């Protein structure tokens, strides 16, 4: 006999999604998150798609999906109602009647690491990926304190438990160095020197013993060996980290420096730049793009001499023509993106002369579609880990609006 694992609620799934694609990463103009659905209902089946198009909603309802996750928002501009006389209103009514929720991860999924452009870069075989236009890293502090040797591990543990010391995949990162503190003994009780794990009372005794041993008088100079401990802390965890530090530190009034680190490029951002394993002709590279992406009527358009050699490649899922400065700055030989218009593309090529960067233009939908497989894997894996498994499918519907294309008779044929 087997016991079925309990299904997660929509709220559980959304919580996992928002760890992968934090809504706060979305651009100001964007509209991401839950569009419709009750967070308390259970979720067994999830369908992933680029667009919340009618064909995708039909597919979801036919499969009895409980949740559809799309890249593009259903609503980007405010509406005053959702009557079924509008196409978007019909979608909402169909979803609600079918008991199916809708969730959007748009520019927050574009900038995430891994995100939409990572997926595009990986299906093209690019490695050593960095953002094409990096976002600032999350605001971070560095906490510095000075601790007697015996208490160093305890203080580092306490700070780590409060969220300090996380660097990429590494946890409990700290840096220490030994030095000497000095002070002049006043007439009152001195600092609790070298107390370590001792209690307040034991510390007082220790202090008295030391004063006796050293026969130290008020006004005398004292030296103490201490370790300088440095750890990074997300700024939003500052209060919790400092409270934990004070609790774990043996001194009643420890010395603590909090340094606000200057903003710098983080791992997230729009687009990616990476490298092909071997230099390739622009024609061969365009063929590689055509084979790696799902089929569309548009196919792959290229600007540049077919025999030009490319190896460093910039990519941006979706419309990327606002990134041309970043592409030039990145040293990329070629830029793969979608929705390139005549004027920006012509201007970029005019500036480049015969040389790079060349342009490869693909269908918008095709450029973002590779992201869906990665979301399916990560979401299924995360829910399995929570003991709340779900079934995740990628939609089989093509939502690229273009249906056929004719070569232009009399055009330039290369
Ligand atoms: Zn898009």
* d(C-alpha 328, C-alpha 357), whole Å: 7
For 138, the token pair is 């999350």
The set of residues, in sequence order, having a beta carbon less than 8 Å from that of 153 and lying 6+ positions away, is none
Mean pLDDT of the 166-190 span: 86
Mean pLDDT of the chain, nearest integer: 92
Contact predicate 293/369, CB 8 Å: yes
Q: Which residue has the tokens 């660097």?
A: 167
Q: Which residue has the tokens 């490649």?
A: 313
pLDDT of residue 210: 46
Mean pLDDT of the 365-370 span: 98
Ligand 1 centroid – CA 320 distance (Å): 10
pLDDT of residue 187: 72
Q: How confident is the model over 190-229, as pLDDT tens digits?
A: 555 544 444 444 444 444 444 444 556 778 888 889 999 9
Burial category of 46 from C-beta neighbours within 10 Å (exposed 0-12, middle 13-18, buried 19 and up): buried
Ligand 1 centroid – CA 71 distance (Å): 7
Ligand 1 centroid – CA 368 distance (Å): 6
pLDDT of residue 229: 98
More confident residue, 202 or 89: 89
Q: How confident is the model over 57-82, as pLDDT tens digits?
A: 999 999 999 999 999 999 999 999 99
Contact predicate 48/394, CB 8 Å: yes
Of the pLDDT bands very low, low, confident and very high (cuts 50, 70, 90), residue 315 is: very high
pLDDT of residue 197: 45
Asked if pLDDT for residue 407 goes beyond 70, the answer is yes
DSSP secondary structure letter of residue 72: S
Q: How confident is the model over 112-133, as pLDDT tens digits?
A: 999 999 999 999 999 999 999 9
Ligand 1 centroid – CA 390 distance (Å): 26
More confident residue, 81 or 183: 81
Ligand 1 centroid – CA 63 distance (Å): 25
Asked if pLDDT for residue 326 goes beyond 50, the answer is yes
pLDDT of residue 189: 57
* d(C-alpha 391, C-alpha 380), whole Å: 7
pLDDT of residue 266: 87
What count of other Cβ atoms lies within 10 Å of the Cβ of residue 79?
12
Asked if pLDDT for residue 177 goes beyond 60, the answer is yes
Secondary structure class of 86 (helix, strand, coil):
coil
Ligand 1 centroid – CA 271 distance (Å): 12
Asked if pLDDT for residue 280 goes beyond 70, the answer is yes
Ligand 1 centroid – CA 85 distance (Å): 26
Ligand 1 centroid – CA 365 distance (Å): 7
* d(C-alpha 405, C-alpha 385), whole Å: 46
For the chain, report the end-to-end CA distance as a whole number of angstroms.
Answer: 66
CA 246 to chain centroid: 32
Contact predicate 240/231, CB 8 Å: no
Asked if pLDDT for residue 150 goes beyond 70, the answer is yes
DSSP H or E run through 274: strand 265-281
Ligand 1 centroid – CA 80 distance (Å): 25
pLDDT of residue 7: 95
Ligand 1 centroid – CA 370 distance (Å): 12
Q: Give me the sheet containing 265-281, strands edge to edge.
A: 127-136, 265-281, 309-319, 334-338, 358-362, 301-303
CA 67 to chain centroid: 22
pLDDT of residue 227: 97
Ligand 1 centroid – CA 32 distance (Å): 13
Ligand 1 centroid – CA 366 distance (Å): 10
Secondary structure class of 169 (helix, strand, coil):
coil
pLDDT of residue 403: 95
């Amino acid at each position: 006999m087997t016991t079925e694992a309990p299904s997660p609620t929509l709220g559980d799934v959304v919580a996992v999604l928002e760890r992968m694609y934090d809504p706060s990463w979305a651009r100001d103009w964007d509209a991401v998150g839950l569009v419709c659905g009750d967070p308390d209902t259970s979720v067994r089946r999830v369908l992933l798609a680029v667009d919340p198009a009618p064909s995708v909603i039909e597919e979801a309802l036919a499969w009895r999906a409980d949740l559809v996750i799309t890249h593009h928002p259903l609503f980007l501009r405010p509406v005053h109602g959702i009557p079924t006389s509008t196409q978007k209103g019909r979608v909402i009514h169909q979803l609600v009647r079918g008991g199916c929720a809708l969730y959007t991860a748009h520019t927050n999924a574009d900038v995430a690491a891994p995100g939409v452009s990572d997926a595009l870069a990986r299906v093209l075989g690019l490695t050593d990926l960095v953002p094409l236009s990096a976002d600032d890293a999350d605001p971070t502090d560095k906490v510095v304190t000075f601790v007697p040797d015996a208490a160093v591990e305890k203080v580092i543990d306490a700070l780590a438990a409060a969220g300090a010391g996380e660097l990429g995949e590494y946890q409990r990162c700290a840096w220490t160095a030994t030095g000497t503190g000095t002070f002049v003994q006043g007439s009152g009780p001195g600092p609790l020197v070298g107390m370590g794990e001792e209690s307040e009372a034991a510390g007082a005794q220790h202090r008295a013993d030391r004063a006796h041993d050293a026969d130290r008088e008020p006004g005398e100079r004292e030296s103490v060996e201490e370790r300088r401990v440095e750890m990074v802390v997300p700024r939003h965890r500052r209060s919790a980290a400092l409270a934990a530090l004070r609790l774990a530190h043996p001194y009643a009034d420890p010395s603590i420096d909090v340094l606000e680190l200057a903003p710098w490029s983080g791992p997230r951002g729009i687009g990616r730049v990476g490298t092909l394993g071997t230099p390739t002709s622009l024609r061969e590279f365009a063929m590689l793009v055509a084979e790696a992406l799902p089929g569309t009527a548009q196919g792959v358009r290229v600007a540049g001499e077919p025999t030009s050699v490319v190896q460093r490649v910039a990519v941006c899922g979706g419309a990327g023509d606002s990134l041309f400065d970043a592409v030039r700055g990145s040293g990329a030989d070629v830029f793969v993106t979608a929705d390139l218009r005549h004027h920006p593309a012509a201007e970029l090529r005019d500036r480049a002369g015969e040389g790079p960067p060349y342009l490869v233009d693909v269908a918008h939908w095709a450029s973002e579609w590779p992201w869906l497989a990665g979301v399916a894997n990560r979401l299924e894996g995360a829910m399995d880990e929570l003991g709340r498994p779900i079934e995740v499918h990628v939609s089989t519907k093509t939502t690229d609006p273009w249906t056929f294309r004719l070569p232009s008779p009399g055009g330039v044929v290369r």
